[in-house]
Structures are given as C-alpha cells and as structure tokens.
C-alpha cells in the first residue's frame, strides 16, 4: 500500500481506508460529478465532506491538495506507477477516472476528443454561466438594483441550453448511444438550474424537448441517484 504520510490533508481528514481513493467534496453541481463517476465505475473510495460554508477549502491542509481552494479533489493511493496521485479540477478527475477503468470515455481517438470537447464545454460555459444565473436569481444578486447582469446570464444560459438541445435532438446521450463523462459532467448543472436555482421559468425549460428527456434518463440511473447525495451533508 502506498505511503500517504506526506499529504497534509490527511491530518485534518484522516483516512480510515487509506488503500482507497480519498474524495474531498460536497454535493454541489461540481462535486457530484466525481461522486457520480465513482459510483458508476464502482471504484472503492472514501468520501470526506468539505464544508464550503465553513471555509474549509481555505484551510492549509486543503490548500495543500488544491491550491485553488475549490471542491472537488481526490487523492488516489494507487495512481500511475503505483504511486499516490492528488488531483483537483473536476474535468481532469473525470478523465483520469475514465482512463483508470477504461470506461465512459471512448477508445476511438476522434470520439475521445469529441467527448472531451463537451466536457470542456460544460466546464468553460455551462458551469460558470449557470452558476452566475443562480447567484443573481436566487442569492444576493436578487438585491442588485441593476438587473442587467441577471438578464445577461439568463440570455446566455438559454443559449447554452439551446446548444445542448440541438446536440441531443437525435441522440440519447451527448455522444450518441453511449453514456460518457460528458453526460456526467453536465447532468448536475442542468438539474441544479431548474431545481435548486428555481430558474426553469426564466430559461423557458418547459419549451425544451430533448434536454428534459436526457436529464430524466440520467437521473434515473442508480449510480447518479447515489452520487447526488455523496458526501452526505451533516
């Protein structure tokens, strides 16, 4: 078993099962990407709740793993070459886990890159824009007298959903017949937009046909249902 003693994060969040992947996360749209992926792959892992409400991502132990101070992050004691590997950024973790098990990322080079482009589309566009819409619609942004920021993020979120709607028009999943990390990366954000953010009416979600069908199919997967609740909030 790999020696994890050199990782300060274990001083604050000790590993009861140090031979397993250590997940540091919270069930947010970004966090659940990795808990869903771990459930889908059936890799053994130990989840640790990182409470962003208590600023736990900014303590020295967490920053030693992710200097950007965001969730999720993982520590795999059995990384490449049998050595421990620490990773942050959900997109990078998804690719790593997919390649570790040889699933949810096509082996064909062209399809692999096409899958990655949709993962990056989520990370670069859907996540940031949906998150800003949530802030200005549901949280402190509601009190801003200037409504132009909200209008901007509503318009851009609608546009991005239109891109996704077009992609899914003749496909079950983002990459076609096969469910991939592109779907895993995106499901939680669309769910959050119409659920937790309560922005369905703003972005005319009911006017869409293919995105709701895709979301329903994704949320019906048992691994997704489990992953959405991990790590459990206390």
DSSP assignment string, the chain: ----TT-THHHHS--SSTTSEEEEE-SSTTHHHHHHHHHHHT--EEEEE--GGGTGGGSHHHHTT-TT--S-EEEETT-GGG--EEEESHHHHHHHHHHHHT-SS-SSHHHHHHHHHHHHHIIIIIHHHHHHHHHHHHSGGGG-S--HHHHHHHHHHHHHHHHHHHHTTT-SBTTBSS--HHHHHHHHHHHHHHTTT--TTTTTGGG-SHHHHHHHHHHTSHHHHHHTT-SPP-
Instruction: Give the domain 109-221 fold.
Output: Glutathione S-transferase Yfyf (Class Pi); Chain A, domain 2 (1.20.1050)
Per-residue model confidence (pLDDT) at position 1: 55
Where are the chain's structural domains? 9-103, 109-221
Per-residue model confidence (pLDDT) at position 127: 97
Instruction: Using 70 as the pLDDT threshold, list the residues of the chain that sit under it.
Output: 1
| Helix 127-138 × helix 148-167 angle, to 10° | 140
**Global pTM value:** 0.96
pLDDT per position as a tens digit, 25-37: 999 999 999 999 9
Q: From CA 37, how far away is CA 142, in angstroms rounded? A: 34
Whether cis (ω within 30° of 0) applies to the bond prior to 50 is: no
> Does the fold of domain 109-221 match that of domain 9-103?
no
Q: From CA 130, how far away is CA 48, in angstroms rounded? A: 26
∠ CA 5-232-34, nearest 5°, is: 65
Whether cis (ω within 30° of 0) applies to the bond prior to 115 is: no
Instruction: Give the domain 9-103 fold.
Output: Glutaredoxin (3.40.30)
Per-residue model confidence (pLDDT) at position 159: 98
Closest to 211 in 3D by CA, of 142, 132, 158: 158
């Amino acid at each position: 078993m790999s020696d994890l003693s050199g990782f300060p994060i274990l001083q604050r969040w000790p590993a009861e099962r140090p031979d397993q992947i250590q997940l540091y996360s919270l069930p947010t749209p970004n966090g659940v990407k990795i808990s869903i992926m771990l459930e889908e792959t059936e890799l053994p892992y130990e989840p640790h709740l990182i409470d962003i409400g208590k600023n736990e991502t900014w303590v020295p132990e967490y920053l030693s793993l992710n200097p950007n101070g965001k969730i999720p992050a993982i520590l795999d004691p059995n990384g490449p070459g049998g050595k421990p590997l620490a990773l942050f950024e959900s997109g990078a973790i998804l690719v790593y886990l997919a390649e570790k098990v040889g699933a949810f990322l096509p082996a064909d080079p062209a399809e692999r890159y096409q899958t990655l482009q949709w993962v990056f589309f989520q990370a670069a566009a859907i996540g940031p824009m949906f998150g800003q819409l949530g802030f200005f619609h549901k949280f402190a942004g509601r009190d801003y007298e200037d409504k132009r920021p909200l209008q901007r993020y509503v318009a851009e979120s609608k546009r991005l959903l239109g891109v996704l709607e077009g992609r899914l028009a003749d496909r079950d999943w983002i990459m076609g017949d096969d469910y991939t990390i592109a779907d895993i990366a995106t499901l939680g954000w669309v769910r959050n937009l119409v659920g937790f953010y309560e922005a369905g009416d703003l972005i005319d979600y009911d006017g869409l046909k293919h995105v709701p069908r895709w979301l329903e199919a994704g949320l019906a997967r048992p691994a997704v249902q489990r992953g959405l609740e991990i790590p459990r909030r206390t």
